[in-house]
Amino acid sequence: MADEKYVQFISNYDDWVAIRKLKIEPATEPRTVMEFLASLGISLDGKIEENLRKSVKLEKVDAAINALGLEKKDTAKALEEVNSRKVNSAIKEVIEELGEGVQKNEKKELEGFCRAYAMRKALKQCGIVVDYSSVEIPGMKRLKKAKV
């Protein structure tokens, strides 16, 4: 029993109740492990964004990214513009709105989450795959369609 290999994830948080387990045996296909981890990653990314949105006003970051007018194949523009004064000022603004009750290191952490969010959003607008959410995993088709 001690040498069994498995991945286990349990969530009981607000409206997110999930139990995901995968026992890894010698016959377990690497693809099965990849699919399991990708589905977990997609779920985690969604919850990170949801909770970031509860922490700061991401609508202002969304507006700054949308104002860039990014389209497919605007990757170079996205990389340059996401680090521009316009997007940075939107991020700084939402962080400063947190007020004095939030410690400096917490603000820095939230700013990092906002920067990652902005880059992911901008690259997705350019048609760049930045995570595994666009991979069609047979067992997840129902789940992905329900979210869209």
What pLDDT digit, counting tens, does each position of 64-76 carry? 999 999 999 899 9
Residue 118 CB burial class (10 angstroms; 0-12, 13-18, ≥19): buried
Domain boundaries, the chain: 45-148
Residues 130 and 92 sit within 8 Å (Cβ to Cβ) = no
How many residues does the structure list for the chain?
148
Distances (CA, A) of 60 to 20, 63, 111, 118: 35, 5, 13, 11
Helix, strand, coil percentages, rounded to 5, for the chain? 60, 10, 25
What pLDDT digit, counting tens, does each position of 14-62 carry? 888 888 899 999 899 999 999 999 988 988 999 999 999 999 999 999 9
* pLDDT score at 130: 85
CA atoms within 13 A on the CB side of 43: 18
State the average pLDDT for the chain: 88
Inform me whether the pLDDT recorded for 120 exceeds 90. Answer: yes
Q: Which residues contact 53 (CB under 8 A, 6 or more apart)?
A: none
* pLDDT score at 140: 65
Q: What's the pLDDT band for 147 if we cut at 50, 70, 90?
A: very low
Inform me whether the pLDDT recorded for 1 exceeds 80. Answer: no
* pLDDT score at 137: 80
CA distance 140 to 39: 8
CA distance 25 to 2: 13
Q: Report which of residues 96 and 1 the model is more confident about.
A: 96
Using a pLDDT cut of 90, give the percent of the chain over it: 55
Q: What's the pLDDT band for 13 if we cut at 50, 70, 90?
A: confident
CA distance 126 to 75: 6
